[in-house]
Amino acid sequence: MGMTIAEKILAHASRREEVKPNEIVVVGPDLVMSNDATTHITIDIFRKMGGVKVKSPDKIVFVIDHNVPSNSVQTAEVHKKMREFAKYNSIKLYDGEGVCHQLLIEHHAVPGTVIVGADSHTCTLGALGAFATGIGSTDMAAIWVRDKIWLKVPQTLKFEINGKLPDGVYAKDLILKIIGDIGADGATYKAMEFSGSTVKEMSMDSRFTLCNMAVEAGAKTGIIEPDEKIIEFLSKLRSGRGYRLLRSDSDAEYEKVYYYDASEIEPMIACPHTLDNVKPVREVEGLKIHEAFIGSCTNGRIEDLRIAAEILEGNKVHPDVRLIISPASRNVFRDALKEGLIETFLESGAIVMNPNCSTCWGACQGVLGDGERLISTGSRNFRGRAGNPNSEIYVASPATVAYSAINGVISDYSKEV
Amino acid sequence: MRIVGRCWVFGDNIDTDVILPTQYLLLPDVKSMSKHAFEPLRPNFSNEVKKGDIIVAGRNFGCGSSREQAPAVLKELGVAAIVAKSFARIFYRNAINLGLPVVECSTLYDEIGEGDIVEIDLENGKILNKRTGRIHEATKIPEFIMEIFRCGGLVEYMRRDS
């Protein structure tokens, strides 16, 4: 019996000929990421384990991205602790350069490898053909000590998507549709493999959006087989050393295969307070919004900003709405500046922020008040995620968010194209 | 391991952000964070919960973020176990690593009442609801995970190992 790409990566990493779902394998991860949401706790656990210096500093990357720049004395202390630990251990630290997953895409992640991050959206990197998954602080601390982790080989669910997405419909709408269909626990413990002509045609930025939200269906990882597009994408960023371009065998065993016709997808929106409370945008059109956010590891890349700028060009953000835009990284910000997108955002009345997790994370920028409603390109709409527990978050594509920001109410952009 | 405790009942899809809201993640230690556990849903939870209490919930408990602070604050408050129809993956693993027993049971939730006393037999995967007298089947916990629970978490397990 053949293996899926996820199984092949875990087999290679655990030096086995073959692995099967539900087997436990021990691997030394190739890349290990920790950010300022949890690293201070992880450092304490590492010390409790008797750790003094991390075993493999070359594999570890620290990113300060969740509260940037620091918004309180308390945050400043957390950042300080992280910087000192990184320096002492010779760990590469990115300080305010962007959202962790975007920085790993731009500087570190490699196809065919095992990547673990102390952040649930680590699965974003599966779009590069890697096995990338989120872990907690104790697992992270144990990796710092021992340079290994046990993983259960997941079953794989295959999502075969064919056809062309209609104009005004994007990867975000597709993944929201899928999560709405299978539920917020529809892929718990499993790998979600995305394939088909739609995925093949998709830009890398769109593929990252697909894999990013796999965790919102409970998945261990989202993954896409590497193709020429990945090679071209990476060749522009860095050298091709260490790539393993693995693909699923034709006789690989999937727990289930889901089929989608992309031409039938319409703009979708996740309504409060779970990611599977998904409806077509047209069903909630007209709902008043107070704030709109474009950014995050889900939708803060250059393609997303281009879509938003095209809609905002020559228009003004509704006077009752704050539109907050945060590019996912310094490189994305720089590209947006060069292309004139930032100029368009400023002209429209948007607030342009530094690259960071921003409003999606709900602790430092664009926090909501009682009874306020946010429409966001982020990944989550949990109760209180953006501040007050009586506020509401709607999650949608950059096009839906930008168009709604102009109108002051939730609006379906696809009707305009 | 036998755990007897009073139950707190929560629903489906209880996410990490509700267990511990984002704005408290960077407090300096778990003790100070724990005062805010379940704040969006039950603002008085941290005052009312007692050492040895048990949380019972529906599907997908702990979905969302990888923040280990979520199971950590529950452990800090003395929660002795969580019984749910199902758990989100990262939360489940984090709870095990912290030595906080997490038990999958598909039937208890459907008959549980707030304040019921239950007795959990972890090794044998049985849960007795003392109010109804009914014994519920739970997913049996693999031996290596039981060993982590017995040690009180992965840190203690690793210390013993070395």
pLDDT one-digit tens code per residue, B59-91? 999 999 999 999 999 999 999 999 999 999 999
Q: Check if B65 contacts A (Cβ < 8 Å).
A: yes
* Segment A294-314, tens digit of pLDDT: 999 999 999 999 999 999 999
Contact (CB<8Å) A184/B63: yes
- Determine contact: A78 vs chain B, CB below 8 A: yes
| Per-domain residue ranges of chain B | 2-161
pLDDT by residue (tens digit) across B118-161?
999 999 999 999 999 999 999 999 998 999 999 999 999 988 87
Assign B107 a pLDDT band (cuts: 50, 70, 90): very high
Contacts of A187 (CB under 8 A, 6+ apart): A157, A214, A217, A218, A219
Residue B140 distance to chain A (closest CA, Å): 15
Residue B72 and residue B155 in contact, taking contact as beta carbons nearer than 8 Å: no
Work out the pLDDT band at A240, boundaries 50, 70, 90. low
Of A116, A137, A43, A141, nearest in space to A84 by CA: A43
> Are the C-beta atoms of residues A66 and A100 closer than 8 Å to each other?
no
- For A163, A220, A365, A376, B104, the CA distances from A380, given in Å and listed in that order, are 28, 17, 15, 9, 25
ipTM above 0.85, yes or no: yes
pLDDT tens digits, one per residue of A147-169: 999 999 999 999 999 999 999 99
The answer, yes or no, to whether residue A278 has pLDDT greater than 80, is: yes
Q: Check if the beta carbon of residue A361 is closer than 8 Å to that of residue A380.
A: no
Number of H helices, E strands in chain A: 14, 18
Please write the tens of the pLDDT for every residue from B44-64: 999 999 999 999 999 999 999
Q: Which tokens in the block code for residue A262?
A: 């992309």
Q: How many CB atoms lie within 10 A of CB B51?
A: 9
- Determine what percent of chain B is predicted with pLDDT higher than 90: 95
- What is residue A64's predicted lDDT score, i.e. its pLDDT? 98
Q: What DSSP letter does each residue of A219-231 carry, written as one string?
A: -SEEE----HHHH
Q: Does residue A54 have a pLDDT over 90?
A: yes
Residue A42 has pLDDT above 70, yes or no: yes
CATH of domain B2-161: 3.20.19.10
Tokens of B127: 């849960």
Distances from the Cα of A245 to the Cα of A105, A214, A224, A241, B125, angstroms: 16, 21, 11, 12, 43
Q: What is the DSSP string of B80-148?
A: -EEEES-B-HHHHHHHHHHT--EEE-SSHHHH--TT-EEEEETTTTEEEETTT--EEE-PPPPHHHHHH
**For residue B72, what are the CA distances in angstroms to A94, A97, A165, B41, B59?**
27, 30, 43, 18, 20
* Interchain CB contact of A222 with B (< 8 Å): no
Which residues 94-133 in chain A show a CB within 8 A of chain B? 117-120, 122
CATH number for the domain running over A268-416: 3.30.499.10
CA angle A36, A53, A86 (to 5 degrees): 35
CATH number belonging to domain A5-261: 3.30.499.10
Average pLDDT taken over every residue of chain B: 96
